[in-house]
Structure 1
Amino acid sequence: MNGSIPANFDFGAPLSATCSDFDVPHAKQLLEALATRSRLADLGERSSALVHELRQPLFSIAMANENMRLMLAHPELSRSQLERAIERIAEQVQRAQTIIDRTLAYASGRSRDESTADLGIAARQAIEFMEPVLEAAEIAVQEHGTDMVATVGMCQIEAEQVFVNILRNAAESIELRQQEGWQGAPRILVDIKVEDGTVRCEVSDNGAGLTDATAALLFEPFFTTKPQTGTGLGLRICREALERAGGTVRLVAGEGEGARVELELPLHFSGGSGR
Structure 2
Amino acid sequence: MFLIYYHLTDWRIATVGSALGALVGGSAAHLQTHALPTAIPEQNLVIIAFAWGIAFLLGASSANLRRTRLINTLSTMGVMAHELRTPLATINLMGDVLRTLAQHDIPEAKRKKIEDLSARLQNLVRNMNRQIDTQISNAQLLRLPREQSPIMAAELVQEVVHDYPYRSTRERECVQIHLQQDFCFLASRPLFVQVLSNLLKNALHSLASASQPPKPGDLRVYVGVHRSKGRIAVSDDGVGIAHEQQDRIFEPFFSTQSGAGTGLGLTFCKNAVESAHGTIRVHSEPGLGAVFMVDLPLNRTTTT
TM class, shorter-length: 0.5 to 0.7
1:245 CA displacement: 0.7
1:68-217, aligned counterparts within 5 Å?
71=99, 75=103, 96=133, 103=140, 106=143, 112-133=146-167, 135=169, 137=171, 139-145=173-179, 149-177=182-210, 181-183=211-213, 185=215, 187-195=218-226, 197-217=228-248
Greater RCO, 1 or 2 (C-alpha within 8 Å, sep 6+): 1
Kindly name which structure, 1 or 2, has the bigger radius of gyration based on alpha carbons. Answer: 2
- Inter-CA distance 145–233: structure 2 relative to 1 (3 Å threshold): same
Q: Give structure 2 stretches of 5+ with no counterpart.
A: 1-63, 104-110
The 8 Å contact of residues 192 and 202 in structure 1, kept in 2 or not, is answered as yes
Please state whether the residue corresponding to 1:106 is helix, strand or coil: coil
The 8 Å contact of residues 280 and 294 in structure 2, kept in 1 or not, is answered as yes
Higher mean displacement: 224-233 or 167-176 = 224-233
The 8 Å contact of residues 133 and 171 in structure 1, kept in 2 or not, is answered as no
1:270 CA displacement: 4.0
Q: What amino acid maps onto 2:194 in structure 1?
A: Q
1:176 CA displacement: 1.0
Q: Give structure 1 stretches of 5+ with no counterpart.
A: 1-36
The 8 Å contact of residues 194 and 272 in structure 1, kept in 2 or not, is answered as no
1:159 CA displacement: 0.8
1:202 CA displacement: 1.3
1:258 CA displacement: 1.1
Q: Distance in 2 between matches of 1:256 and 1:271?
A: 40
- Inter-CA distance 145–213: structure 2 relative to 1 (3 Å threshold): same
1:104 CA displacement: 10
Aligned to 2:265: 234
Q: Distance in 2 between matches of 1:217 and 1:52?
A: 27
Q: What amino acid maps onto 2:161 in structure 1?
A: I
Q: Cα deviation per residue 1:63-84 (whole Å; 9 max; x = unaligned)?
A: 9779767756755679xx97xx
Q: Cα deviation per residue 1:162-190 (whole Å; 9 max; x = unaligned)?
A: 1000000000111111xxx4246262100
Q: Distance in 1 between matches of 2:78 and 2:303?
A: 32
Q: Cα deviation per residue 1:239-275 (whole Å; 9 max; x = unaligned)?
A: 11111111111111148611111110001334521xx
Q: What amino acid maps onto 2:215 in structure 1?
A: A
Q: Cα deviation per residue 1:110-156 (whole Å; 9 max; x = unaligned)?
A: x733433332222222212324235364651111128x643222111
- Runs (4+) of structure 1 exceeding 6 A deviation are 51-55, 60-67
> Percent same amino acid among aligned pairs?
24
User: Aligned-residue CA RMSD in angstroms?
Assistant: 4.5
TM-score normalised by the chain length of structure 1 = 0.61
Q: State the aligned residue count.
A: 219
More helix by share: 2
- Inter-CA distance 65–154: structure 2 relative to 1 (3 Å threshold): farther
Q: What amino acid maps onto 1:122 in structure 2?
A: L
Is residue 256 of structure 2 the alignment partner of residue 225 of structure 1?
yes
